[in-house]
Amino acid sequence: MTEISPIQAEDFDRLFEIEQAAHLVPWSMGTLQNNQGERYLNLKSSVQNHIAGFAICQTVLDEATLFNIAIDPVCQGQGIGKALLSELIKRLREKNVATLWLEVRESNQTAKRLYDRLGFNEVDIRKNYYPTPDGGRENAIVMALYL
């Protein structure tokens, strides 16, 4: 069973491991730690007391932006990402947030399918938004969920 709870300071080493394994161009530890605080709703997903994924979400007034979501590649395909994002959406609704925004790599079809299933709408494309490991750039699809 997946348990979802707020991120704690002692979680960062594990979150950083997941970040490095799950993303083409991962965040640094500093970026991960700097995206915390009272304007954030950051959650982790644990399976048998072992962190399997996390979500970093900033809230400003009645809008929120999902900055990062990562699931340990070993745990992907088990519904952990869907459970984590569903819980985040539930908690944002409880805070009277009206819209959840995110960007997703154009090539990340697995994530895009998840967002589609959860009701997100494609709003725009940001050309050359994401860096790629080979020094190039990739488009981002901007998506929104109206809560």
Does 71 show up as a binding residue in the annotation? yes
Largest CA distance in the chain: 42
Does 108 show up as a binding residue in the annotation? yes
Contact 40, 21 (CB under 8 A): no
Q: Which residues pair with 101 in a beta bridge?
A: 65, 144
Instruction: Say which amino acid occupies 143.
Output: M
- Lookup: tokens for 59: 């809230």
* DSSP secondary structure letters along 51-104: EEEEEEEEEETTEEEEEEEEE-GGGTTSSHHHHHHHHHHHHHHHTT--EEEEEE
Catalytic positions are 103, 115
Binding positions for acetyl-CoA: 69-71, 108
Binding positions: 69-71, 108
